[in-house]
Amino acid sequence: MTDPASAGAARARRQDDLLIVVVDHPPVNALSADVRRGLAEAIAQAGVDPQVRAVVLAGAGANFIAGADIREFGKPPRPPALPDVCNAIENCPKPVVAALHGAALGGGLEVAMAAHYRVALPDARLGLPEVNLGLLPGAGGTQRAPRLMGAAAALDLMLSGAPITAAGALASGLVDRVAEGGDALAAGLAYARELLDQGAGPRRSRDAQGLADKTAARAALAESGERAARARGLYSPLRIVEAVRAAVELPFDEGLATERSLFLQCLDSPQRAALVHAFFAERGTTRVPELKQARPRPLGRVGVVGGGTMGAGITVALLDAGLSAVMIEQDEAALARGLARVRDVYDQAVRKGRLSAAQREERMARHAGALDYAALADADLIIEAVFEDMEVKRAVFAELDRVARPGAVLATNTSYLDVDCIAQATSRPADVLGLHFFSPAHIMKLLEIVVGRATAADTVATGFELARRLRKIPVRAGVCDGFIGNRILAVHRQAADMMMQDGASPYEIDAAVRAFGYPMGPYQMTDMAGGDIGWATRKRRAATRDPAIRYVEIADRICERGWFGQKTGRGFYRYEAGSRQGRPDPEVLEIVDAERRRAGVTPRAFSEGEIQRRYLAAMINEAANVLEEGIADKPADVDAVFLHGYGFPRYRGGPLFYADTVGPARILEDIRAWRNEDPAFWKPSALLVRLAESGRDFASLNTAQP
């Protein structure tokens, strides 16, 4: 009955007159060299074995095939190449059926498109996410997808990078049928048997007619060309459009050659390297010692103390993840406001059609409010999000210590304050940690897990488990003023303020930061968040500020006028009623000028490049300090923080990946030059000096495993 042909990552066995090829390469069946070889051998065998009348391709485990093996990018290529494997599948003289379940992504979907027939289980997710990695589908996907589903749908799949469901794939012609459920292989076998019974032969996607209507295809290209041009700073979208243009205008084989050449350009681009780094950086943040030492404590009922901006956002995140949450506020009015904030988020989601009314009610039913801390007695985890004031927070924690059950995890969402000092307000500092969410907390992906001196390993593990449940990216941080993100932010904001005082306008600085790839500059960001927040922090810290560091007062002068940004219609920019689009304000420039005069500064010009260099160098130098002090475990964690909490352009990989592309030595050279003008601010980090002087880079510190 069976006839083992190839062992290992892609196994072939014959069952009657069908050759079954199963890709079995955990964790996600990525197309490593072994898998490619196994597939090529199996197809070759099918071609010559007279007993084989059809082939069924399937994946073992949870997925069909998740794509090319991302770890192989940038390394010397190992044969057989994936496009050749796909062409061999398409040219197989016997019908090939791909049976899809779970992820059929990138090269995995290209393998499926090279097959002659496709059946998907309802759970299948089909996509061409290469754009997220700075690439384009490079194994025939740009040529076969438009022929199967038409140019418009194929371009959307490739430019969005978002997967579609089995039902969507059926509707667009990407798959031939959706099986009822059950086992993908069984569905593939049944389909192959039916095809043989009907006398069906190979049916090549290269011959499919999705591009027959050239007018429609060209219209889709024109529309997508505009969309790709709008994809800020990204390299691969325009090339995706070019590859599909070749599919529309050229014969199939010439189109494949065009795709190959565009793919190789993308593969060699710095953006590809940065985006692949980002992919692994965000998955590597869970490599922390505590997760090896301990298991998480239970997480079911969560308490949230404080129903302001953050408390409400955190509550929504908890409810969205299926947890139940009780909110504690200080008085009836504040509680009513807190509950209303949560309801508002859901009402808006229902209005926008993102949630059904029934889903809203189901989520709200898991939410309760209380004034009495006794309501927290059975909570597994309590997250404090009250005012940023040490005495208020310590009083809350003393109360939590009194009411919480033994073993409950007590977390603070403080932005800057000393988590150890907060923990000491309790009799159980081992149960205390920081869970630093970012605003809006139900949307932003980053969660800093702040580990105090006494925090127990299973408390930390519970923080990571919460992040997993909330689908957030957890980054382990040590205790210091501002942890990883806000501490580094404060320093490069200071660099920006100093440039503003020395001659760059806030608008030039914002423009330079945007030109680097951020969605907005630091002063636009201030206006969006509300200038009053930073002003309050500055006032609170006035007494403890390092007198050696230049203090730029421009933002204070703006706040003193009540100009807090978008919400007051004025800040660094002026806003028309209801608009978030600010325009430069000559009165702000007058304030800036006056402050320069008061500080005795003769303004000078700053080029866009210099603004970027100083802004980034300040960020990188402080990031090096954060690593040196063990506040962050590894450079990739700092990158994950800035990518997911601060809008750092993903195609630049994060500040420390970017630092390596510039070179630590060059950054150090700049900082040493600027030290002459301001020795208190431009102090080279000891780590940066060590890396520069030993010719190493930040990436060399990523490989050290805990």
Contacts with ligand 3HC by CB under 6 A lie at 27-28, 30, 63, 66-71, 82, 103, 105-107, 110, 129-130, 133, 135, 137-139, 141, 283
Secondary structure string (H, E, C) spanning 439-506: CCCCCCCEEEEEECCCCCHHHHHHHHHHHHHHCCEEEEEECCCCCCHHHHHHHHHHHHHHHHHHCCCH
Kindly state the smallest distance separating residue 12's Cβ from ligand 3HC, in Å.
Answer: 22
| Cα 94 → chain centroid | 42
Secondary structure string (H, E, C) spanning 391-458: HHHHHHHHHHHHHCCCCCEEEECCCCCCHHHHHCCCCCHHHEEEEEECCCCCCCCEEEEEECCCCCHH
Note whether 462 and 288 are within 8 A (CB): no
Judged by DSSP in three states, 305 sits in strand
C-alpha pair distances (Å), 367 with each of 145, 438, 676:
45, 21, 57
Q: Which two tokens stand for residue 627?
A: 């690593």
Note whether 306 and 386 are within 8 A (CB): yes
Residue 646 binds which of ligand 3HC, ligand NAI, none (CB < 5-8 A, kind-dependent):
none
Judged by beta carbon, residue 483 or residue 682, the one nearer ligand NAI is 483
Judged by beta carbon, residue 139 or residue 500, the one nearer ligand 3HC is 139
> Residue 621: beta bridge partners?
none
> Residue 424: beta bridge partners?
none
Judged by beta carbon, residue 38 or residue 141, the one nearer ligand 3HC is 141
Kindly state the smallest distance separating residue 138's Cβ from ligand 3HC, in Å.
Answer: 4
Kindly state the smallest distance separating residue 482's Cβ from ligand NAI, in Å.
Answer: 10
Kindly state the smallest distance separating residue 418's Cβ from ligand 3HC, in Å.
Answer: 33
Q: What is the pairing mode between strands 446-451 and 473-478? A: parallel
Judged by beta carbon, residue 389 or residue 693, the one nearer ligand NAI is 389
Residue 161 binds which of ligand NAI, ligand 3HC, none (CB < 5-8 A, kind-dependent):
none
Catalytic, out of 90, 130, 508, 622: 130
C-alpha pair distances (Å), 333 with each of 299, 303, 338, 368, 400:
29, 19, 9, 15, 22
Q: Using CA atoms, how far apart are residues 118 and 90, in angstroms rounded to an integer?
A: 13
Note whether 363 and 411 are within 8 A (CB): no
**Residue 138, number of CB atoms within 10 A of its CB:** 25
Residue 30 binds which of ligand 3HC, ligand NAI, none (CB < 5-8 A, kind-dependent):
ligand 3HC
Judged by beta carbon, residue 414 or residue 462, the one nearer ligand NAI is 414
Closest listed residue to residue 263, CA positions, set 81, 525, 26, 532: 81
Q: Using CA atoms, how far apart are residues 308 and 342, in angstroms rounded to an integer?
A: 10
Residue 414 binds which of ligand NAI, ligand 3HC, none (CB < 5-8 A, kind-dependent):
ligand NAI
Closest listed residue to residue 311, CA positions, set 368, 381, 382, 385: 385
| Helices within 101-213 (DSSP H only) | 107-114, 141-149, 151-160, 166-172, 184-198
Kindly state the smallest distance separating residue 588's Cβ from ligand NAI, in Å.
Answer: 23
Judged by beta carbon, residue 239 or residue 493, the one nearer ligand NAI is 493
Judged by beta carbon, residue 154 or residue 305, the one nearer ligand 3HC is 154
Residue 645 binds which of ligand 3HC, ligand NAI, none (CB < 5-8 A, kind-dependent):
none
The one-letter amino acid at 148: L
Q: Interface residues with ligand NAI (CB under 6 A)?
A: 305-311, 328-330, 334, 338, 385-388, 392, 396, 413-415, 437-439
Kindly state the smallest distance separating residue 451's Cβ from ligand NAI, in Å.
Answer: 17
Residue 137 binds which of ligand 3HC, ligand NAI, none (CB < 5-8 A, kind-dependent):
ligand 3HC
The one-letter amino acid at 175: V
Residue 288 binds which of ligand NAI, ligand 3HC, none (CB < 5-8 A, kind-dependent):
none
The one-letter amino acid at 272: R
Question: Has 110 been annotated as catalytic?
Answer: yes
Judged by beta carbon, residue 479 or residue 636, the one nearer ligand 3HC is 636
Kindly state the smallest distance separating residue 410's Cβ from ligand NAI, in Å.
Answer: 14
322: left (phi over 0), alpha (psi -120 to 50) or beta: left
Residue in the shown chain whose Cβ atom is closest to ligand NAI: 308
Catalytic, out of 90, 110, 448, 622: 110
Residue 328 binds which of ligand NAI, ligand 3HC, none (CB < 5-8 A, kind-dependent):
ligand NAI
Judged by beta carbon, residue 85 or residue 592, the one nearer ligand 3HC is 85
Closest listed residue to residue 560, CA positions, set 522, 588, 580, 586: 588
Note whether 535 and 555 are within 8 A (CB): yes
Kindly state the smallest distance separating residue 27's Cβ from ligand 3HC, in Å.
Answer: 4
Question: Has 576 been annotated as catalytic?
Answer: no
Kindly state the smallest distance separating residue 632's Cβ from ligand NAI, in Å.
Answer: 18
- The DSSP letter of residue 372 is S
Positions marked catalytic: 110, 130
